[in-house]
A = this chain, B = another copy of it.
């Protein structure tokens, strides 16, 4: 079945919300409660979940533990994913130091960089090794790496993405400000510069509205 793109995004949010509710000591929830927390319509949540099965009980709602497990299966985080980061810079280091990702099933186990001064160094608190690009293929096989994070400048991103696909990587998290056009891997973009610009765009729109309503007040 074809899953609408917005649904894929929201499923991850549901999973997090369910985990939060569990950590608060709750044992059941409803589409109503999830909707309040995530600012979504209950009917949308029920519809989204229905793409993947029937997880609730009519009259009583959802068992949180069951739902969390079901969502983990849907999101494929019922296993640990080994992740490499190409580009041993600031973003890569920040990711490596972030404990949350490991907890959620994403284990960063290798860096790759073409800068010889970085090769052999250990990155971050966990001391993750930086390998040369020439070892990409070997290490991906040896360490069973399935996900590649692209944290290099835009100019190198396309090249790196092709190298990753060539060695069998099937999923790429792309921090570079470049549209990658690959057919053999799934790509998810994290584009901070675009987020900044979207933010100031929306601030501009709101400012205009504020001015308009002020104007009306004065009439």
Chain A residues with CB under 8 Å of chain B are 3, 8-9, 11-13, 15-16, 37-39, 74-77, 81, 89-91, 93-95, 97-98, 100-101, 104-106, 146-147, 170-173, 177, 179, 181, 186-190, 192-207
Contact = CB atoms under 8 A, between A and B. Distances in A.
B179 A203 contact: no
Given A8-B202, A94-B94, A200-B171, A39 B179 contact: yes
Given A91-B94, A206-B170, A77 B181 contact: no
A193 B94 contact: no
Given A106-B196, A188-B198, A198-B188, A203 B170 contact: yes
Nearest to A103: B193
Contacts of A104: 193, 196-197
A3 B37 CA distance: 26
Given A12-B194, A101-B193, A179-B39, A201 B75 contact: yes
Contacts of A105: 200
A81 B207 CA distance: 15
Contacts of A187: 199
B8 A198 contact: yes
- Which of A13, A105, A192: most chain B Cβ within 10 A? A192
A40 to B, nearest CB: 9
A205 B3 contact: yes
A10 to B, nearest CB: 9
Contact of A199 (B39, B186, B196, B200): B186
Contacts of A177: 16, 100
B93 A16 contact: no
B201 A8 contact: yes
A135 B37 CA distance: 31
A198 B16 contact: no
25 contacts: A8-B198, A8-B201, A8-B202, A11-B201, A75-B201, A75-B204, A76-B200, A76-B201, A76-B203, A77-B197, A91-B94, A94-B94, A98-B192, A100-B193, A101-B192, A101-B193, A104-B197, A147-B199, A170-B203, A170-B207, A173-B195, A186-B199, A188-B196, A188-B199, A190-B195
